[in-house]
Chain A
Amino acid sequence: MKERIKEVIKRTFDLAEVDNNISTSNCEKWDSLQHLNLVVELESEFNLSIEPEDIAEMKSFNDICRVLYKQLNP
């Protein structure tokens, strides 16, 4: 799952490489608008709906993994 998430981040932000430490603070392209694009892409990729509260929390690769893991394994 982690690899699929990375692929989505790469594709959405148009990046060459994505590592485990990527977050809003170290990635220039990850602004508020791109953040929503990322959510749209993640929702389509994993066929789920992410709640606004979670969206606000997803500020790094690790956050995303945590939120998605919680949703997929309730």
Chain B
Amino acid sequence: MKYFIFRNSTIEPFFLDNETSYSGYENISEIPEESEAFVWFYMLSFKPDAKVLVEEIASYFSKLLLVSKQIPSNKNLFIFTLNDIFDFHIINGDYSLSKAIAEYNLNIILLAEQNKNIKILDFSNFTTQYPRNQLIDWKYYFLSKMQLNPKIAVEFKCWFSGQMQAIQFKRKKCIIVDLDNTLWGGILGEDGINGIQIGGDYPGNAFLEFQKSLLELTKSGVILAVCSKNNETDVIEAWEKNPNILIKKDHLSAYRINWNNKAENVQGIVAELNIGFDSVVFIDDNPTERELVKQFFPTIETPVFPTQPYLLPIFTKELTERNFRIYSLTEEDKSKTLQYRANAERLDFQKGFADFEEYLSSLEMELQLQKANSFTISRIAQMTQKTNQFNLTTRRYTDSEIIGFIENGDLVYCVSVKDRFGDYGITGAIIIKIDKLIKSVVIDSLLFSCRILGKGIEEAFVFSIFNKLKAEGYKMIHASYLPTSKNEQVRSFYEKIGFEIVSDSINVAEAKNYIINLILNEFKIKPYFNIIEI
């Protein structure tokens, strides 16, 4: 990503050379078009006169307002909050500066609430890690107007890229956690249901807080699974009889409690939940187990578990910041745990039918087609960021870029899916580039969330869109498949639904291009789908 940074001090050591360019100090006259994203990083300067500073802060905001109006809505503007890293007060009880800073920060938050392309970076999240005398090195301040100590530049770069990742949703999806000495103290098989340490005095209280934190994570969409060497009946009995255990069967989307090796069990859980290994964090107090899992599945995150339970809060904080930090929650995230669990029930239900079609028709599936609008743009962008497997082109887009498509007259549709077991929410999207002049139609992106695959929903959705295009007089649709390490499962999707290959190569790493004639083909949708357009 190429950033252009509006700044009022020397900050070059804090960003990567090859992806950053800068405004002059306090210069807002130039807004380079070629930049992919903009950053507003003004820092408080050092002035003994609070009155002057207060005015300066007000002028920063008016400048920012001017700039924000000129940045195209399809490009992001990241705004740093303002922090008083000097804390220089001559008069005790003079809060004018604190008030001005608070007002500035409130104003930028309001600005971000009104504009989807504007995001806030909480600078205090970085600065509070350091004592005041490490944040600034006065030598560099006076030599070069550097308001941050260049000795913490490396840490700043890490922090900044972490924040950017959080904004771009590279978040893990699942925690697989051990039980003995991890979710509680002691060993269930030896200490018994009432002998394990959970709740009450130390260390039980530390484990209890850890369980609470994990539960809080599930509320933000993280799914939880247990992998433990124990007798399953013992654990189930403990869940039933020990009232201090908070995380019980109902909170788990899957579990493996047996004496098999953990690599095998982890693989089973990952397959059951239909997620990728790289979206899993494996938590286990035993370093041998962590090593085993890491050996088999190097993309799984296996954080070092603290040997002292009183260090669990630090562990939890790092776990969250490294793997589960998100920018803002969508409704989909919050109910994801429920949906994964409903999926498991659906699998059971599947067993009792004569054939698969009968099963599908019993599901009473309802597909709601929806043109992208202000309520769905975030979710569509989020899906382009997160979906790896059923994703034909794997193009990643931000909210603003999706808005760009719509403004350009292209078609952006999403589909939300319901069946008798529950509401999956928005789980698929298509972006179709349209050239009205030459009546040319190209599928730019097509993707579905894994949790709805295997029911023909993909085909039904695509066909409904094709029928609309056909009705509008379009004749041909172009499409392509761009291979990645994760989307092998859709290598032949377009062939299956009737496309012809235009260019194909023996080299599996190359793109495949397709075309389909809308007039010569019929797109019949299975009768058990109830398709609604809203």
Contact surface of A with B, Cβ cutoff 8 Å: 32-33, 36-37, 40, 43-44, 49, 52, 55
Contacts and interface: CB of A to CB of B under 8 A. Distances in A.
Interface string B9-39: 0101100000000000000000000000000
Interface stretch (B74-82, B139-147, B239-247, B266-274): B139-147
Contact of A52 (B12, B143, B151): B143
B150 A40 contact: yes
A65 B406 CA distance: 61
Count chain B CB atoms within 10 A of each CB in A33, A40, A43, A52 and give the residue with the most: A40
B142 A36 contact: no
A42 to B, nearest CB: 12
22 contacts: A32-B144, A33-B10, A33-B12, A33-B13, A33-B144, A36-B140, A36-B144, A36-B146, A36-B150, A37-B13, A37-B150, A40-B13, A40-B140, A40-B150, A40-B151, A40-B153, A43-B151, A44-B151, A49-B139, A52-B139, A52-B142, A52-B143
Contacts of A49: 139
A43 B140 CA distance: 12
Contacts of B13: 33, 36-37, 40
Looking at chain B's contact residues, is the secondary structure mostly helix, strand, loop, or mixed? helix
Looking at chain A's contact residues, is the secondary structure mostly helix, strand, loop, or mixed? helix
A32 to B, nearest CB: 8
B29 to A, nearest CB: 22
Contacts of A43: 151
Contacts of A37: 13, 150
Interface string B132-143: 000000011011
A33 B9 CA distance: 13
Nearest to A50: B139
Name the 7 nearest CB pairs between A and B, nearest first.
A40-B150, A33-B12, A36-B144, A52-B143, A37-B13, A40-B151, A52-B139
Contacts of B146: 36
Nearest to A14: B17
A37 B153 CA distance: 10
Nearest to B13: A37
A37 B150 CA distance: 8
